[in-house]
Each structure stands twice: as structure tokens, then as C-alpha cells.
């Protein structure tokens, strides 16, 4: 299944070498859209039911008639057709409008895709809710990229990162001299996003005063820069996101109810990953491919017990956490399979992490450093040989060497610099 595509798999449960359950799990990573029918004997009916939970299409108990199996195959292929259509819908969303592809075909995510397609063409305000790492920003961009505003700017503002006054001057702009640090007139992001989409991320973090101002902007569809007197009309589509429950904040008095209603015209709620585990295999497959390619490693997949570990995990950090776990695992993996030990999950009671014989990066910086070292060790010698040969063939003439390798001269020079090759030194040698 790594090399070829199949429409359907029929597998027995008890087999030498690899059980039908393991086959099923591997298939769900490699070609998740392929329906799997499990053949089971009387003694393994429980396992077959378990297999259904793991994404098998159906099971058939021995002994069965040809008619029975033909019927099941027919059904499975019909379902596959529907699924492929949905994948097509999703690709449509992605490829035509150039945003990072969504991965996952679960019912929950299909609802999200359908919503995006429905609301994108309108100018209605959208409120995206969901736990951290569930893909809120991805949705915001998808809405923009599928709207008639797609050729105008998509401006994202993280409302947490700025203090109140700064946020206001960022959003609405200010006139030169309107306050001490206003040395120059500044165009507000509302104006920068004119004709496009303004994405207010973590909207729950704005103060009550800024909330009042935002509400007025949404009602009047015009902004007055700080220190200014003339309101300027704006033409933006507002998309907001939050990982907090705004209703609760409203009842606690820290979020204005009228603003909440203005924002919540079209709600899109992103389900946490633990509630759509059916998407796991595909997401894992997606991130495995991405990171293996990025790091130039050939990773075939996950060892069965590693996969099982991920399936039990509840992902408090959702897709972003899964992404990080796989990235780290690809860095750490020594063979062509990710082992249980390469996954460092934050679960109490799980004895991963401690049992790692080698060095385990603890944070992003260390992870980057590890990646850099791996790159240095694996890729750089190859690059170096490649560059040196090109230079030698061209008598150390950088322009000609760059031309011969098909690289632009500045890129070629950047590569020389990175590899610490200096043409003059080499000539001297
Ligand atoms: N369905 C998905 N398919 C593929 N990648 C996804 C999906 N959902 C999220 N991601 C990836 O997970 C990461 C987190 O997504 P995103 O930044 O959109 O989440 P978020 O909800 O805005 O998180 P936060 O609340 O932490 O800001 C990104 O790298 C994104 O590309
Ligand atoms: Mg976000």
C-alpha cells in the first residue's frame, strides 16, 4: 500500500506476522480513504467490532456466501465514492485558492468545510471558536481565500500581543502628534485591510473600552483615527476567533453582550482533536510526509505500539500539538519507523520520555538546534561536495558555477556563506 493504490481491502484478523487489526491501522495511515472489510471467525467477533471502531468499513463472519461478500463490497465502494467526492470538495477549497490544505474527513470537519464554503462568499461577520491549536487561523484564511475579497489583503491581528492603547492605534490608526509617541501619522489596520478581511485573533482579550469602540466601528462601518476628527469609511469583512467561551465572559461582565451578538452572526466551532480521532491517521500521515521531506529522512510510518499510544492520547494542544509531536519524532527517529520512544507525550502515567536512551530536546529552541545539527551532519557534506565540484569545474568563478548549477547568483552565494566556503581560500589551497 505504500507503492500502489487500492480501492478496497478485505483482510482476515488472525494472520501470521501481522494481525488484521494492525493491517487496518497501517492502512488508515497510508491510504485512509480505502474501505477495509474484516473477515472474522466466531471467536474473534469482539475484535471485529473493535476494528469497526478503528475505522473498518464492515466485518463479515465466517462462513459466508459469495453473495454476502459481493454485497458488502458493493456498499463499501459506494461509500468510497462519496468519500472521494468529499475529499475533492476539500481539495477544491484548498488548491484553487491557495491556502494550506485541511487534513481530515471526519463528519465534524466536513461540517466545518461546508460552513466555510457557505459563508465565504458573503460579507457576514464570522466568529470562530475552538480550543487552542484546532485550526482557527486556518479557517479564517480559508474564508478569506474563498471570498470575493481574496485579491485584497488578509490582515491578522493578535489581540493578546498588544497593550490597550497600542491595540487601538494599531486598529484605528492615529494622527501625527495625537499622543507623545505618535511621531508620525499611522494608518490603522482597519484601513490597511480595506477591501479585504480583518482577522481579530483572541478577541476575548480586548478591554471593555476597546470593545465599545470596535462595536461602533462595526455599526457605523467607519473609523476615526486617534486624534482625528473625520471618520473614514471602511470596507472590511471581519472574522474573529477565540478559545474562550464568550458567553461565559458575557455573563461575567468582561465581554459586552451587544458586541458578542454582532460578532456571533455566523459561528464556526472547531471540534477538539480528541473528539474526531478518526482524523488522526490522516493527520499523522500528513505531518509525517511534511517533516520527513523537510528533514530529508525516509520515514515509512509508525510502529504499531507507537500508533496505539497516539490513539489513546487526548491531545490537549490539538492539531498543533500533534504537529509538534510528529516533528520531534521525525527528528528523533533512527530507523525508518517512528518508535514509541520517539513520541514524547505529556500524559501522566505514561512512561515515555524517561526511557529515551538519547538526548531529548526540551523546547522549541533546542529542537531547532537539534534539527540544525542533523542538517549539518547529513545534508551539509553533500551540499558542500556539490558546490565545491561546481566551483572547481568553473575555475572558482562564482557566476559561472551558479549558472551551471541552475541557481541564481545571490542564492548560490548564500549557500557558499552558509557552508563557510570562500572562493579565495580555496584557490590558495
Ligand atoms: N485540519 C487541519 N489540517 C492540517 N493542519 C491543521 C489542521 N488544523 C490545524 N492545523 C495546523 O495546526 C496548527 C495550528 O492551527 P491554527 O494556528 O490554525 O490553530 P488555532 O486554533 O489558531 O490555535 P491557537 O488557538 O493556538 O492560536 C497549524 O500549523 C495548522 O496548519
Ligand atoms: Mg490562532
User: How confident is the model over 228-248, as pLDDT tens digits?
Assistant: 888 899 999 999 999 999 999
Per this entry, what is the length of the chain?
A: 429
* Residue 17 φ/ψ region, left for φ over 0, alpha for ψ in the -120 to 50 degree band, beta for the rest: left
Query: Which DSSP helix (H) or strand (E) runs through 187?
Result: strand 186-187
Res 294 pLDDT > 60: yes
Q: Which of 294, 287, 289 lies closest to 273, judged by CA?
A: 287
* Domain ranges, ordered by start, for the chain: 9-89, 107-270, 275-371, 380-428
Span from the CA of 133 to the centroid of ligand 1 (angstroms):
5
**Domain boundaries 275-371, corresponding CATH code:** 1.10.8.60
Span from the CA of 142 to the centroid of ligand 2 (angstroms):
13
368 — pLDDT class (breaks 50, 70, 90): low
CATH fold for domain 107-270: Rossmann fold (3.40.50)
Res 34 pLDDT > 80: yes
| Contact 136 CB / ligand 1 (< 6 Å) | yes
> What residues does 337 pair with on adjacent strands?
301
| Contact 132 CB / ligand 1 (< 6 Å) | yes
Span from the CA of 157 to the centroid of ligand 1 (angstroms):
16
Q: What are the b/e assignments for 330-360, b being 16+ CB within 10 Å?
A: bbbbeeeebbbbbbbbeeeeeebeeeeeeeb
Using alpha carbons, list the distances in angstroms from residue 321 to 181, 226, 324. Answer: 39, 40, 5
Span from the CA of 345 to the centroid of ligand 2 (angstroms):
22
The 3-state DSSP class for residue 60 equals strand
**Domain boundaries 380-428, corresponding CATH code:** 1.10.10
Half-sphere exposure of 288 (CA within 13 A, CB side): 22
Span from the CA of 160 to the centroid of ligand 2 (angstroms):
11
Q: Rounding to the nearest 10 degrees, give the CA dihedral for residues 14, 15, 16, 22.
A: -90
Burial degree of 295 (CB within 10 A; 0-12, 13-18, 19+): middle
Over residues 307-327, the mean pLDDT reads: 92
Which position has the grid cell 468499513?
Answer: 57
Q: Given this model, what pLDDT does residue 429 score? A: 40
Contact 296, 332 (CB under 8 A): no
User: Across the chain, what does the average pLDDT equal?
Assistant: 83
Q: 9-89 and 380-428: same fold?
A: no
The crossing angle, in degrees rounded to 10, of helices 208-220 and 164-172 is: 10
pLDDT digits (tens, 9 = 90+) for 45-91: 778 778 887 888 888 888 889 999 999 998 888 777 766 666 655 55
Over residues 261-271, the mean pLDDT reads: 94
Atom of ligand 1 nearest to the CA of 133: 23
Residues with CB in 5 Å of ion ligand 2: 137
Q: Given this model, what pLDDT does residue 378 score? A: 56
Residue ranges in 193-347 assigned as alpha helix (H): 208-220, 246-252, 257-263, 280-295, 304-312, 318-332
The 3-state DSSP class for residue 176 equals coil
Residue among 91, 157, 245, 319 whose CB has most ligand 1 atoms within 8 A, to mutate: 319
Contact 99, 126 (CB under 8 A): no
317 — pLDDT class (breaks 50, 70, 90): very high
Res 114 pLDDT > 60: yes
At 334, give phi and psi (nearest 5°). Answer: -100, -35
Q: Whose CA is nearest to atom 13 of ligand 1?
A: 320
Query: Which DSSP helix (H) or strand (E) runs through 150?
Result: none
The architecture in CATH of the region 9-89 reads: 3-Layer(aba) Sandwich (3.40)
Res 329 pLDDT > 90: yes
| Contact 138 CB / ligand 1 (< 6 Å) | yes
Q: Whose CA is nearest to atom 25 of ligand 1?
A: 132
pLDDT digits (tens, 9 = 90+) for 186-243: 888 898 899 999 999 999 999 999 999 999 999 999 998 888 888 899 999 999 999 9
Span from the CA of 76 to the centroid of ligand 1 (angstroms):
31
Higher pLDDT, 80 or 119: 119
Contact 159, 206 (CB under 8 A): yes
| Contact 104 CB / ligand 1 (< 6 Å) | yes
Q: Which of 129, 62, 123 lies closest to 264, judged by CA?
A: 129
Amino acid at each position: 500500500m505504500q507503492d500502489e493504490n487500492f480501492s478496497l481491502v478485505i483482510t482476515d484478523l488472525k494472520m501470521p506476522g501481522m494481525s488484521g487489526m494492525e493491517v487496518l491501522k497501517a492502512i488508515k495511515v497510508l491510504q485512509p480513504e480505502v474501505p477495509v472489510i474484516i473477515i472474522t471467525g466466531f471467536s474473534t467477533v469482539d475484535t471485529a467490532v473493535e476494528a469497526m471502531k478503528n475505522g473498518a468499513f464492515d466485518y463479515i463472519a465466517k462462513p459466508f456466501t459469495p453473495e454476502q461478500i459481493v454485497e458488502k463490497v458493493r456498499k463499501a465502494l459506494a461509500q468510497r465514492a462519496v468519500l472521494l467526492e468529499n475529499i475533492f470538495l476539500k481539495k477544491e477549497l484548498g488548491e484553487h485558492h491557495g491556502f494550506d490544505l485541511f487534513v481530515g474527513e471526519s463528519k465534524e470537519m466536513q461540517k466545518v468545510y461546508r460552513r466555510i464554503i457557505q459563508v465565504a462568499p458573503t460579507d457576514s461577520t464570522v466568529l470562530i471558536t475552538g480550543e487552542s491549536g484546532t485550526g482557527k487561523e486556518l479557517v479564517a484564511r480559508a474564508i478569506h481565500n474563498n471570498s470575493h475579497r481574496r485579491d485584497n489583503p488578509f490582515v491578522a491581528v493578535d489581540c493578546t500581543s498588544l497593550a490597550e492603547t497600542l491595540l487601538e492605534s494599531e486598529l484605528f490608526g492615529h494622527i501625527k502628534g495625537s499622543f507623545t509617541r505618535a511621531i508620525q501619522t499611522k494608518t490603522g489596520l482597519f484601513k490597511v485591510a480595506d477591501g479585504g478581511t480583518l482577522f481579530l485573533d483572541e478577541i476575548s482579550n480586548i478591554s471593555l473600552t476597546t470593545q465599545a469602540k470596535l462595536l461602533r466601528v462595526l455599526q457605523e462601518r467607519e473609523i476615526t483615527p486617534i486624534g482625528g476628527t473625520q471618520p473614514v469609511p471602511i470596507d472590511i469583512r471581519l472574522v474573529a476567533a477565540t478559545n474562550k467561551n464568550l458567553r461565559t465572559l458575557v455573563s461575567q461582565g468582561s465581554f459586552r453582550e451587544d458586541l458578542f451578538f454582532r460578532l456571533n452572526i455566523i459561528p464556526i466551532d472547531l471540534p477538539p482533536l480528541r473528539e474526531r480521532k478518526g482524523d488522526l491517521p490522516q493527520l499523522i500521515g500528513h505531518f509525517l510526509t511534511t517533516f520527513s521531506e523537510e528533514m530529508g529522512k525516509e520515514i515509512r510510518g509508525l510502529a504499531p505500539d507507537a500508533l496505539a499510544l497516539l490513539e489513546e492520547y487526548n491531545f490537549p494542544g490539538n492539531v498543533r500539538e500533534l504537529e509538534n509531536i510528529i516533528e520531534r519524532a521525525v527528528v528523533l527517529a533512527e530507523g525508518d519507523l517512528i518508535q514509541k520512544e520517539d513520541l514524547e507525550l505529556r500524559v501522566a502515567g505514561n512512561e515515555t520520555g524517561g526511557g529515551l536512551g538519547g538526548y531529548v530536546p526540551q523546547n522549541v529552541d533546542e529542537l531547532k538546534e537539534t534539527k540544525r545539527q542533523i542538517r549539518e551532519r547529513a545534508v551539509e557534506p553533500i551540499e558542500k561536495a556539490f558546490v565545491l565540484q561546481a566551483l572547481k569545474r568553473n575555475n572558482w568563478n562564482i557566476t559561472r558555477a551558479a549558472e551551471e548549477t541552475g541557481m541564481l547568483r545571490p542564492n548560490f552565494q548564500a549557500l557558499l556563506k552558509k557552508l563557510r566556503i570562500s572562493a579565495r581560500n580555496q584557490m590558495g589551497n
